[in-house]
Amino acid sequence: MRVRILLADDHTILREGLCALLAKQRDFQIVAEAANGRTAVRLTRELSPDVVVMDVNMPDLNGIEATRQIITGNPGIKVIALSMYSEKQFVVEMLKAGAAGYMLKDSAFEELVHAINTVIQGQFYLSSGIATFVLKDYLHKSSGGDFSAFSMLTGREREVLQLITEGKTTKEIASILNVSTKTIETHRQQIMKKLNVYSIAELTKYAIREGMTSV
């Protein structure tokens, strides 16, 4: 049977190019494309692909949160992060979210094919340059607490934070998440209190620094 793949990336040219290349592989089948994390989560629930190739930094819902929701809903799906970011926080948080692999976008296409075949066999795949510092991070993890947004905020609070920093109004966020505006206001207050940040500008700087959104 062919490996069923969903490709999520907000850059149309890159996404369509990868789809065209992957579709030429005899053992692969592209079942869907997504331009943001929220669409990727929805399509994954509808189609149950074997593998999701996931960009880390996407609008509306970033790849880390999308991966967390996908794996929570179906732990059997393999997610491979494909990102331009090699910084530790991106890699570690994707792995914590449940990703089975992490690759950089400047990798050769053949490496992506190899990564897909690797995770389908139940193994993990990391680009060589990434594997070294990930191992060091786990072997020499600081005994201090983790004060990143991914540990301090709930999943819903992280969703709200990303949408706030992308310029969405309270009403728009409430509509996207299908909750009341009062609930969003409560989330906003809790986020600011937990992070000790009390302006949208500072929230935006924080979210960018944590890799939850981009400029």
Q: Where do the domains of the chain lie? A: 3-139, 149-209
Predicted pLDDT of residue 143: 43
In this structure, the chain runs to a length of 215
Q: What is the mean pLDDT of the chain?
A: 87
- Domain spanning 149-209: which CATH class is it, in words? mainly alpha
The answer to whether the CB of 50 falls within 8 A of the CB of 120 is yes
What does the pLDDT read at residue 44?
A: 97
Amino acid 17: pLDDT: 93
Q: How far apart are CA 195 and CA 17, in angstroms?
A: 40
pTM of the model: 0.77
Q: Residue 142 has what pLDDT?
A: 46
Point out the residues of the chain with pLDDT beneath 50: 139, 142-144
pLDDT tens digit string along 31-64? 999 999 999 999 999 999 999 999 999 989 999 9
Residue 1 has what pLDDT?
Answer: 83
Q: What pLDDT sits at residue 204?
A: 83
- Domain 3-139 falls under CATH 3.40.50.720: no
Q: What amino acid occupies position 56?
A: V
Residues 6+ apart with CB under 8 A from 153: 161, 191, 194, 195
